[in-house]
Structure 1
Amino acid sequence: MSTISLNTSLVSAVTLLGGEGVLRAKPRVVMDWIPLVRRGLPSACVDAVVRTTRITQSDLAHALAIPERTLARRKREGALSPEESAKLVRFARVVERAETVFEDADSALNWLQSPNASLGGVTPLSLLDTDIGADSVLDTLGRIEHGVFA
């Protein structure tokens, strides 16, 4: 994986996905995301994540377990499927949470790309393709936030 680095200090999941202009909505609470995911996020959200984090589209596709060719096709079509949208929102929410815990975007993204003993020696980023993996990453972030060895 290439190094992820953000252009700004801390960003929200909404900002990471391109902001209200790209999302064509103002998700404020968790329940606001459900209709967006069900409808399928605009494919411009992928470009926004790539631009904001400087992660390559290839690395993002790998982290989300979405084939690169599928992402390229979705960009032409203009929207992600609901399943792909859910994966991208999950990614954005975990990045947002990591930034909150580390209080620094670069530190958070470096942590996401570093092997972690409490996660079986794999990188947190490599676990974001599944709900169980993302939950494990969020649990680990919670332990870090509360000063428990993680």
Structure 2
Amino acid sequence: MTTIRAVDVVGGPEVIGAPLDSARAIIAAVRRGFPVAAVEHVIASGRMTLAEIDEVVLPRKTLSHRRKIGTLTSEQSDRLVRAARVIAEAEETFGSQEKAGRWLRRPTEALGGEKPIALLDTSEGAAEVETLLGRIAHGIAA
């Protein structure tokens, strides 16, 4: 379900250009490559800054090149949807985009003093953040 909500973080079917109502549809869209507009939507919505996109999804210079092409690669799309999934889970856990954003950007002792958003550049890092969000959501001491 979080993956479906992640679609909204990247702009939904309107931005992606395809119905994204199932995990299979999302997988197919990632494999095709998301439009660059998905990155633009994440930035415009305030969910990630350009600097965070640079660290987690793709370097600025590459983003500039991908803007000319119009689409991301499947790997870049996968990193974007991974970050979007964690952002969506944080928003659900904390009840608002603003509170989730603050938590994602605050160093957290449970993650070795790192900012949760900084760990989204790897699947293992994202899994650690998702585990912590699950503990918080269920009232288990983080």
What TM-score comes out, normalization by structure 2 length? 0.91
Partner of 2:122: 130
Q: State the alpha-carbon separation in 2 of the partners of residues 90 and 54 from structure 1.
A: 13
Aligned ranges for residues 5-16 of structure 1 at < 5 Å? 12-16=5-9
What SS does the aligned partner of 2:15 have?
A: helix
Q: Which runs of 4+ in 1 moved over 4 A?
A: none
Greater fraction of residues in helix: 2
Q: State the alpha-carbon separation in 1 of the partners of residues 47 and 96 from structure 2.
A: 16
C-alpha displacement of 1:30: 2.3
Query: Which moved further from structure 2: 68-77 or 136-145?
Result: 68-77
Q: Deviations over 1:7-54 (max 9, x none)?
A: xxxxx3222212211111121232221111111000111110100126
Partner of 2:69: 77
Q: Deviations over 1:82-105 (max 9, x none)?
A: 000000001111110001111111
* AA in 1 matched with 2:35: P
Partner of 1:3: none
1:35 aligns with 2:52: no
Partner of 1:146: 138
* AA in 2 matched with 1:68: R
Partner of 2:41: 48
Aligned length: 138
Q: State the alpha-carbon separation in 2 of the partners of residues 15 and 114 from structure 1.
A: 24
* AA in 2 matched with 1:149: A
Does 1 or 2 have the higher relative contact order (CA < 8 Å, sep 6+)?
1
1:97 aligns with 2:93: no
The Cα RMSD (Å) is 1.2
What SS does the aligned partner of 1:42 have?
A: coil
Identity of aligned residues (%): 41
What TM-score comes out, normalization by structure 1 length? 0.87
Work out which of the residue numbers 107, 112, 115 in structure 1 matches 2:99.
107
What SS does the aligned partner of 2:21 have?
A: coil
Point out where structure 1 has 5 or more consecutive residues left out of the alignment: 1-11
What SS does the aligned partner of 2:45 have?
A: helix
What SS does the aligned partner of 1:89 have?
A: helix
Partner of 2:111: 119
* AA in 1 matched with 2:33: G
Partner of 2:17: 24
